[in-house]
Structure 1
Amino acid sequence: MSPRDREIRASDADREDAVRQLQRGLSDGRLTVDEFDDRVRAAYAARTTGELDDLTRDLPRSLW
């Protein structure tokens, strides 16, 4: 993601995609329930696609 792309305003669909990625991370045992809860709250509060990317960056690409 280029620096410019990180500043694009996130849509509701972008937020829902990030939450689905986090749910897969939780179900695979890659996130604890507390981490998942924190990240989901942050996803729904995210204003940019860069913020959403930061929440899923440490999950394997195969989950995306």
Structure 2
Amino acid sequence: MPVPREIRASDAERQAVVRRLERALRDGRLTIVEFDERTRAVYAARTRGELDDLTTDLPPDLW
């Protein structure tokens, strides 16, 4: 069952998204400017939906 987008995000979920963004940066999928913008948005995010929106254009996190 999918988690509703309006559920409040936890610190652990924010950290997981930052790790995913770091991998995308290392892989060359994001520029340093994009990484910085998205990382700032991660820490400002209040819901899981906001976090999901920051990674929708990245490939699935398979590793």
Structure 1 length-normalised TM: 0.89
1:61 counterpart residue number: 60
> Which stretches of structure 1, 4 residues or more, deviate above 4 A after TM superposition?
none
**SS of residue matched to 2:8:** coil
Task: Tell me, in whole angstroms, the C-alpha distance in 2 between the residues paired with 1:18 and 1:53.
Answer: 8
Higher helix share: 1
Is the counterpart of residue 37 in structure 1 residue 42 in structure 2?
no
Aligned 8 A contact 1:21 1:63 in 2: no
Q: Which runs of 5+ in 2 are unaligned?
A: none
Structure 2 length-normalised TM: 0.91
Aligned 8 A contact 1:8 1:49 in 2: yes
What's the RMSD between the two structures over aligned residues? 1.8
